[in-house]
Chain A
Amino acid sequence: MVLDSSKDLAPAEPTGIWSWITTVDHKRIGLLYGVTALIAFFVAGLEALLLRLQLTTANGTVLSADAYNQLFTMHGLTMLLVVVMPVGAAFMNYFIPLHIGARDVAFPRANAFSYWLFLFSTIMLLSSFVLGGAPDGGWFGYAPLSTQLDEFVRMDYYAIGAQLLGIASIMASANFIATVFTMRAPGMNLMRIPVFTWMAVVVSFLLIFSLPIFGVGLFQMFFDRNFGTQFFGGGGDPLLWQHLFWLFGHPEVYVLILPAMGIVSEVIPVFSRKPLFGYPFVVFSGIAIGFMGFGVWAHHMYTAGLGPVAEAGFGVATMMIAVPTGVKIFNWIGTMWGGKVRFELPMMFAIGFVSLFVIGGLSGVLHSVVPSDYQQHDSYFVVAHFHYVLFGGGVFGYVAGAYYWFPKWTGRFLDQRLGQWHFWLMLLGFNLTFAPMHILGLNGMARRTYRYPEGLGWEFWNQVATVGSFIIGISFLIFAWNLIKSRKHGVAAGSDPWDGRTLEWSIPSPPPVHNFDEIPHVEHVDDFWHRKYATDEEGRAVRMPDVTGGTIAPETTTGGESEGGGHEDDMHMPSPSYYPIVAAFGIIITGYGFVYLPGGWVAVGVGALVTLWGFFGWSLEPVTRDEHHD
């Protein structure tokens, strides 16, 4: 009866394109992030396949040097800033409020603004291919190469595009932190938050502290290129850029991997039917990785000439990051140990993550051995290492998340058979592509080289890698087909298909606009599990009788009218608004203007006006729907 009256009060889900443009619903914004990132993944993947084709033979002629350099720069830039980071943001957007029992994020319109700015920055970066050439100085943009050719707009696209993506990310991060710290359901203290959401908090702090450093560097690069300052070039210091870049760039690595670790920490307990082994240790090791991530940036600079003392210090600090990382891995194995491991698709990808991440982690330790890194630095060994971490780790983790939560997004399962094909092909293709790169790197193949001569013995493993990369491509076509097909025609999943542990499984799939009819009252880590199961004397889980089909009967959650915390007030969802997209659009006009200085000053002015209009309208419009609508 409580449920019914809530439903009457709940806002209906709007439909149509306009409703997506003006949406401030964290779930829709999460899906927008996800779909955008997936499309960008295919673009960046296509770039990678072209790179692989070029390297299949010695003295390859598929691409020109100029094309190759643009493509490898954009592959890195796109995969990191436009694919993996936003995929993390997609999961965070969708699940942070659901995990902590909230109805939306703290600042819904700022959230929409973050997405639109991200989308427009992405379009801007990709448009550079047809508007004067894409960035070709590497995603790391080392000065003074990046400030050298100011005849071209390419690295201006880099300086402005990355800057705007950074602004979007900082705003999103502030939003997530505010959400987790202020909007948790009653009883959801910090040590009851699901690990994924904990990792989201760590990542948000990493971004808030590291992106401004990158932003400063990007401004300096832009000034060097356009206004004749000499921060890095001319009489300036090229190593200054490297310090600024890697002070962002290294924490960024953890930004990319920690959410995937969070996902795996959600998936493994569910499919082992045990709680996460050592929850506080997993959380604190994540926080430790975040802190230590700021103290190891110079391990990207061992060949730059910092002096042996600095190199030794950063080497030892880097080794120590292996400790909290190891703690996580052992705890995941500890979770499976003694459990009932079910090989459902999310679990298969999660196990793949653990296994492949171990390889990437160990090759990372090899890099921390500084003299050894004098050889491996900027060789294909490094390429192998970070793909094991970011693809074998990151992408496997995010795909695990997609299989795990697809039923929550759509109410349907992803197809089992297609999923099996996807997993095995991806596992095979991934290892065929990147394992040989270890060997190539140790045998002296340098990165970022558009061709290599005969006689160095690199052809065979390059061919294996190319074959592998196309197998990865096929596996992701299968995945895309699975997503499209299963969205409408998948097997119906119900609200709690995996017998889940966290709050998102306590509500219907897909969730209603307001998420929770009744704000839950939390008493445990994995609160939803504890509403379904008790333990016997031996400590085994025993299903409680009052649970019906995975969905909690209303009586068990309500717990009296007063405890829910005045749900009628909470039902006022934020109104849709088109001002976020207007403001973001204005900023992107400004961005294009800066790229094409001095003629672009006109666009800078126009864009600034549009931005002002957006922010002005935003600040004047009422936050929630008209109070008198009924």
Chain B
Amino acid sequence: MPLASTPVAIAGKVKHDQKKAIPGVARRSPRLVGLVALLALVLSACSGSGPQTALNPEGPIGRTIDDLWELVFILATVVFVIVQAALIYAIVRFRARKGDDSEPVQVHGNTRLEILWTIIPVVILAAIGFPTVRGIFDVRAIAEGADVLQVQVTGHQWWWEFEYVDLADETGRTLVTANELYIPEDTEVNLTMTSADVIHSFWVPVLAGKRDAVPNRVSNLTLIADNPTPPDAPHPGQCAEYCGLAHADMRIKVHVRTQADFDAWVADQLTPATIPTEGAAAAGYEAFNTCVACHNVTVMGENGPEDIGVVRTIEVDGVTFTSSLAPNLTHFGGRDTFGSGTFENNAEHLAQWLADPSELKPMRPELNDIPNGRILGMPNFNLSSDDIANLIALLEGWE
């Protein structure tokens, strides 16, 4: 953060003034130096750290916001320093001293000063008002055109569903996935969002600000990412509107890929899962019958791709959104995480999950009402350890 040096300079000036004005205050300067050092430390901490920071943007939208933030933060810091300096000066310079019983002049006010300190803030605020209004229209512009990647987002308690509406296989099945969003670098991505239940908010700070996904309404958010992310370090994000019990565990991962890698990923995702014919996975496929009460999966059947399980849509403002009861599992094994980006996808975690999902992630499956489309989490099916092992073999095989 470029500002770290500013308070040091200003505070140094205050110290200087005090030396001149009030003898005896100078010996307090070590305390002042400590204070300044603390302030500098705190300000340096503002420089942004961690993969979910809003201060180190990884795309032009995030940068527009960050530039505006820096401008206003600098102005605010200047005002802060001036006002605090005036306050400190007033209480030090005009403190009651021992042995001085004189009374101060009873000043009641000064209209000129009042007008001055009304107008100056108005001018400062106007100065930030203009870029603010411009910034709103820049950031809120909905990405349009043939080059834009269109993704429809449906928020659910407590996971995200993504449908790439323009990317379909030859049968017309669109690419549907959950929680881990893949986007190509340097491409405008238009998220068209709604919610299946309560209000959620899509927030990946390094790429853009947040935008609510509201039931019965459609909202849009533009994402643009500069560079591909390393395979093990997607941009993290999370639901930012409190949505009930597992709000904290409704996370997002955004993988940015080169166009070629992205195309390969798309081709892979559009390939149906294979029905295993032998071993644990085949036994797992038997047990999977329980799962398709909510989950769905596209498998390669005898006559081509075939959807197993419930495929649901909702229509909001003329837009048809995929709104599954639970995440599509066709390529589950290929995901890094499950439980909405909360748990690393490995056999150990999956075994815990299948044994008792609510133990791992707080949910309320006892209140599920499947006919009415209300799902509040995955129930505990009291699966045998064999079933669990078989299901893991099945799911991890569906890469």
Chain A residues close to B by CB (< 8 Å)? 64-66, 69, 136-138, 142, 144-145, 148-149, 151, 235-239, 272-275, 277-281, 303-305, 308, 311-312, 315-316, 319-320, 322-323, 326-327, 329-331, 333-334, 336-343, 351, 354-355, 358-359, 362-363, 365-366, 368-379, 435, 438-439, 442-453, 455-458, 461, 533, 535, 538-542
Contact = CB atoms under 8 A, between A and B. Distances in A.
B132 A312 contact: yes
A444 B239 CA distance: 11
Given A443-B53, A444-B236, A539-B105, 20 more contacts: A138-B242, A144-B197, A148-B197, A149-B367, A238-B215, A239-B217, A308-B136, A315-B136, A333-B83, A333-B86, A340-B100, A371-B136, A374-B208, A374-B210, A442-B46, A442-B53, A446-B239, A457-B51, A539-B106, A540-B102
B50 A65 contact: no
Contacts of A336: 87, 90-91, 94
10 contacts: A65-B362, A303-B210, A339-B94, A343-B91, A358-B83, A366-B69, A366-B73, A377-B209, A453-B342, A455-B51
Contacts of B203: 444, 446
A370 B136 contact: yes
B271 to A, nearest CB: 31
Query: Which of B103, B108, B198, B205: most chain A CB closer than 10 A?
Result: B103
A280 B115 CA distance: 13
B87 A375 contact: no
Contact of A541 (B103, B198, B215): B103
A444 B205 contact: yes
A355 B109 contact: no
B303 interface: no
B260 interface: no
Contacts of B251: 453
The 7 closest A-B pairs by CB, nearest first: A374-B209, A444-B52, A457-B50, A449-B248, A278-B109, A65-B362, A541-B103
Contacts of A137: 242, 244
Contact of B104 (A331, A340, A351): A340
B205 A375 contact: yes
A372 B102 contact: no
B128 interface: yes
B87 A338 contact: no
Nearest to A236: B216
A66 B199 CA distance: 18
Contacts of B139: 371, 374
Contacts of B64: 371
Interface of B: 42, 45-46, 48-55, 64-65, 68-69, 72-73, 76, 79-80, 83-84, 86-87, 90-91, 94-96, 100, 102-110, 113-114, 117-118, 121-122, 125, 128-129, 132-133, 135-140, 197-199, 201, 203, 205, 208-212, 214-217, 219, 236-249, 251, 342, 362, 364, 367
B72 A372 contact: yes
A369 B130 CA distance: 10
Query: Which of A136, A275, A338: most chain B CB closer than 10 A?
Result: A338
A340 B94 contact: yes
B50 A341 contact: no
Contact of B94 (A272, A354, A373): A272
B325 to A, nearest CB: 16
Given A142-B241, A446-B240, A327 B117 contact: yes
B69 A323 contact: no
A81 to B, nearest CB: 18
B69 A145 contact: no
Contacts of B133: 312, 315-316
A290 B315 CA distance: 42
A323 B107 contact: no
A331 B116 CA distance: 12
A372 B136 CA distance: 9
A326 B242 contact: no
Given A239-B214, A455-B51, A341 B90 contact: yes
